[in-house]
Structure 1
Amino acid sequence: MREASLNRVVAGAVLAALFTAGSAFAQAPLRIGVVAGFSGVYGDLTAGQYEAAQMAADEVGGKVLGRPIEILQADHQNKPDVGAAIVRKWYDVDGVSMVTGIDTSSVGLAVRRVAAEKGKIDLNVGSATVDLTGPACSATGASWAYDTYALAQVTGSALVKAGNDSWFFLTADYAFGHALERDVTAVVTAAGGKVVGGVKHPISTQDFSSFLLQAQASKAKIIALANAGADTINSIKQATEFGIGKGGQKLAGLLVFTSDVQALGLNAAQGLVLTESFYWDLNDQTREWTAKFRKRKDKVPNMTTAGVYSATLHYLKAVQAAGTDEPKAVMAKMRELPINDMMTKDGKLREDGRVMRDMYLFQVKAPSESKDKDDIYKLIATVPAEQAFRPLKDGNCPLIKN
């Protein structure tokens, strides 16, 4: 009798322990990390990503599978080693289930290596290099808002078709700039244009005078800016001071954000042709979402801000649908479920991690065309996803068997 009683006590203790562990898991926070270059050359365009992720969490009620959602934030300072160290600690120590934002292609590639090693999810929004869905693709990684191939395809094709058949590159000297120059060059030459020269500059350059003088001397019809953030702003400002536009040459911003245009002002930026995956004033849905966002962060959201919201929301929907935060199960649901939000209509997450969505070709308005300081773009063309992004078979992603 005593043995049977003892067995019941032990069994009861085991059940109680299991119940307690299960209850603890149910209440353990689901942690999402937003890591980006919140300071330095990209500080202005990344501002608001944390708030956008929090908006997505709030939209699903602040919980998923009974677990409260926590959003962490960190600045990788545009340094690959710093970004990788932050994400490794998040995964190993802090129990982070997914990271997003990221930005800066060299950092994006470093983070991808850590995430792939750990079998964890990275939803890359701001790193533009197309290699994230090529040689560096991952079963648990995604490229969310844009990439160098789409930027090249949409902007480059449009400009060459308009008769701008000679190009000179001002290129940021790191992974993003190299990839963008490579991809635009392929589009330009395929369309019958030619690249007559180029020069590479360090990230966070303050003085573009020598680079711009070389571009001016080339007589190229297009001076292509394969840079971003403050580097794009400074190169356009200094090109205006040199009177490059008055000499008949045109600037092509290959990765330009609304925050860049507003920093420049319409007088300096007018006529600039660019590609984006989101614009706040595109339709009623984008305007409604922007109004909600601006209650948290009073600035016009750009495609990285919108992309962090979109990626986080789709991830949370997939966790709920999968009934777990196990990475492979969640990624399977993310590929299965269509992506529908204010920036994406029936988008799909492809096997190589590419989010397939329409892209938009815009032109910056002249001051006389603008109603107010936030009215900066006019839509030139909507480019379907299958035309904008690299075909699956051409990416050399190890996950894809041709």
Structure 2
Amino acid sequence: MTKRGFLGTSALCAAVLLTGMAPASAEIAGKRIKLGVLTDMSGFAADSTGAGSVVAAQLAAEDFAKELPGVTIEVVLGDHQNKPDLGSSIARQWLDQENVNVILDVPFSSVALAVNEVTRGSKAMFVASGPGTTELTGPKCSANTVQWTYDTYALSNGTARAVVGEGGKSWYFLTADYAFGHALEKDASAVVAATGGTVLGSVRHPPNASDFSSFLLQAQASKAQIIGLANAVGDTINSVKQAVEFGVTSGGQQKLAALLMQLTDVNAVGLQSAQGLYLTEAFYWDLNDGTRAFADRFAAKMKGRRPTGNQAGVYSGALHYLKAVKAANSTDAAAVAGAMRDLPIDDALFGKGNVRVDGRAVHDMHFFQVKKPSESKAEWDYYTHVKTIPAAEAFRPLDQGNCPLVKKS
């Protein structure tokens, strides 16, 4: 399934239509629920979100259709092309003209913050599995928004704390020079210092850089045990590849810790270059029987590809949203938001958890190390599970985010 072929030439298209076969029993307006997957179909995050996020939403709709007899569940998609103005425009059209009830995914924090404002105070929910900014559960929090998969605090806290605990005491950061990269570095630096480590310095690179040689040489010269990669997608892939090419990690004195890296990024880098890399994820397809079963269904629709954490987050978030719709007997955001916070999270992909008043979905996170090529037994067999980070420890404490909703609670 090619990215362009899946989307076609339209910015929006119906992806799936499912209707329960039993007589209608719900009072949902129009007996229809419309899930809008707003994603990146051809840019830097297309592999980790994109067509796979649409498939994940389809699987959630398929699994829950029998729970809402007589109600049609429809999935539509939009390609925001990583542009906040286009993302907000599609979101506004969906809410004003297309009667979309929930917007899912939305990789890239700048786009997600724009969509967050469109849905604020509306009758639609925003379940964000793609963005990492903690602003969504901090000063910019909204009663209509739930942030599902991860955020910069969870990623930085998980990796930095675990790596320092494993003996990686001295750090140097290679940081993408925009708000997301700065947040990763800031959060990780605070954890390193709090757990007895030392930050020896940092260097910032422009986003979408092609040549990391000078930045990597500065990191190498620092003699830090750990080079923390505070970047994402293409920048992370290129910095890992070039670190190997320049022999930065070949002596065994320095190791890489990626503060945001997903399965598809490791696949792009290859195990030969990525081996030994530390990372934190909310989901891994080979973690247990439940994740493997979902991954098999996903792979059947995605030509063998395994789901990323973001794509699994679309499924888990959409499923929880649908459970809340059923509980509230309504698609009105005020009712559904309350039900999403009241209902416990409990599914095969993310396990048990809850949605806090600030909109943060709280669940376990996991610390992994990328396998050596000799340790991998099959395609997509990339991670060794090192430890589980309990939900209570994984995310920023509720009273530290400055979310206005918390003050009112």
For 2:39, the equivalent position in structure 1 comes to: 36
For 1:139, the equivalent position in structure 2 comes to: 143
Contact 2:28-2:329 at 8 Å conserved across structures: no
2:88 to 76, 81, 84: 84
Distance change >3 Å, CA 97–CA 26, structure 1 → 2: closer
Cα distance, 1:62 vs structure 2:
7.2
Q: After superposition, where does 1:2-401 map in structure 2 within 5 Å?
A: 26-27=29-30, 29-47=32-50, 48-61=52-65, 64=68, 66-118=70-122, 120-247=124-251, 248-298=253-303, 299-401=305-407
Contact 1:169-1:198 at 8 Å conserved across structures: yes
Deviations 1:93-128 (A, max 9, x none): 211111010111111112112211535311111111
Q: Which moved more, 1:25-34 or 1:146-155?
A: 25-34
Query: Hey, what's the Cα distance between the residues in 2 that align with 1:82 and 1:209?
Result: 34
- How many percent identity over aligned positions? 52
Query: Hey, what's the Cα distance between the residues in 2 that align with 1:174 and 1:113?
Result: 21
SS of match in other structure, 1:243: coil
Deviations 1:124-175 (A, max 9, x none): 1111111211111111111101111111111101112223222222222223
Deviations 1:283-306 (A, max 9, x none): 111111111111111211011110
Query: Hey, what's the Cα distance between the residues in 1 that align with 2:185 and 2:54?
Result: 30
Contact 1:62-1:69 at 8 Å conserved across structures: no
Contact 1:225-1:252 at 8 Å conserved across structures: yes
Cα distance, 1:24 vs structure 2:
12
SS of match in other structure, 1:41: coil
The one-letter code of the counterpart of 1:399 is L
Q: Which moved more, 1:157-166 or 1:183-192?
A: 157-166
The one-letter code of the counterpart of 1:336 is D
- Root-mean-square deviation (CA, aligned residues, Å) is 1.9
For 1:20, the equivalent position in structure 2 comes to: none
TM-score by length of 2: 0.89
Gapped regions of structure 2 (runs ≥ 5) = 1-25
Q: Which moved more, 1:209-218 or 1:219-228?
A: 209-218
Gapped regions of structure 1 (runs ≥ 5) = 1-22
Cα distance, 1:90 vs structure 2:
1.1
- Greater share of helix: 1
Q: Which moved more, 1:337-346 or 1:319-328?
A: 337-346
Contact 1:27-1:66 at 8 Å conserved across structures: no
Q: Which moved more, 1:75-84 or 1:133-142?
A: 75-84
Contact 1:361-1:379 at 8 Å conserved across structures: yes
SS of match in other structure, 2:209: coil
For 1:5, the equivalent position in structure 2 comes to: none
SS of match in other structure, 2:164: helix
Between structure 1 and structure 2, the one with the greater Rg is 1
Query: Hey, what's the Cα distance between the residues in 2 that align with 1:60 and 1:162?
Result: 42
Q: Following superposition, which runs of at least 4 residues in structure 1 exceed 6 angstroms of deviation?
A: none
TM-score by length of 1: 0.90
Cα distance, 1:234 vs structure 2:
0.9
Distance change >3 Å, CA 69–CA 153, structure 1 → 2: same
Contact 2:236-2:258 at 8 Å conserved across structures: yes
Deviations 1:232-288 (A, max 9, x none): 111100111110002422111111111111111111111111111111111111111
